[in-house]
Chains A and B, each alone.
Chain A
Amino acid sequence: MSSSTGTEIGREAGADTDEAGRSSTPGGTASTVDLAFPAQAEHVRLARLVASGLVAQAGYSVDEIEDLRIAVDELCSLLVDNAGVDARVVLTFRLDEAAVAMTGEVAVPGGMANFEFDELSTLILRAAVDRHVVRAEEGRLVVELAKFRPDRSQSAG
């Protein structure tokens, strides 16, 4: 969709490049899905729906789906809370045989983000995913999350 207030979803199957530099399974099949929406709290539910649908389709367990649903919610809430006026949240979900990785980013006012990430969100992310990174760069706030499949955690970590 081209509307600046709309939601955009794109899917690229079999992608073998990861701009965020995340690990991938050599020779494995990866699937990348992009989602963009206005940086407003009312739209975060859509991100949860997409995340849970994707990981359910990929064969994750009910508990893992719940973990990823809460993780993407916390990711998006952090971005929305710190977003500039009229900013859009851009999410990329990448699934392969080893893990599901999510990267979210949003433009923040003032060039560098003076973001706040409270203790509750940190505790939740530590429990829900295996890796989370929050960083500010070039006028954007970027959050990366990853959850490894249990049987691949040793080789993927």
Chain B
Amino acid sequence: MVDDSQSFSISEEVVGNDATLVLGGELDAHSARRLDDVVDDLIARRTTSIVIDLEQVSFIDSSGLRSLIRARQRLGDEPQSVRLRKPQPGTVRLLEITGLLEHFAVA
């Protein structure tokens, strides 16, 4: 088994119906499942919008992008339902390559 305990982290802050998730490390097929679970749990607790802080995400792949899309879809597919904060240049490049940048509010 590969120990991924140091390769990905999620912390959350919830105020009312708004949540902020601070991600750290590598968001790939393995860690994206954890993000999906956290988003599902937030929605079950009536969260209606999520800010996802990507400043500390050093790597993201198509699985990570799919998790971001999934989060937005689960929150009604509204432009402001999922906002991305401080993505690294590599993350921005991937969003551009895949045409997803225009589908997310990025701050």
Contacts and interface: CB of A to CB of B under 8 A. Distances in A.
A135 to B, nearest CB: 20
A45 B94 contact: no
A73 B97 CA distance: 16
A69 B93 CA distance: 14
Interface string B1-45: 110100100000000000000000010111001000000000000
Contact of B62 (A43, A66, A80, A121): A121
Contacts, number: 55
Task: Categorize the interface residue count of chain B.
Answer: 20 to 34
A19 interface: no
Nearest to B60: A70
Given A42-B1, A120-B98, A124-B94, A74 B62 contact: yes
B61 A77 contact: yes
Interface residues of A, number: 22
Contact of A45 (B26, B66, B90, B99): B26
B28 to A, nearest CB: 6
B104 interface: no
B29 A124 contact: no
20 contacts: A41-B29, A41-B30, A44-B29, A45-B2, A45-B26, A45-B28, A45-B30, A48-B59, A66-B90, A70-B94, A73-B28, A73-B59, A74-B62, A77-B29, A77-B61, A77-B63, A80-B29, A120-B66, A120-B98, A123-B97
Interface of B: 1-2, 4, 7, 26, 28-30, 33, 59, 61-63, 65-66, 90, 94, 97-99
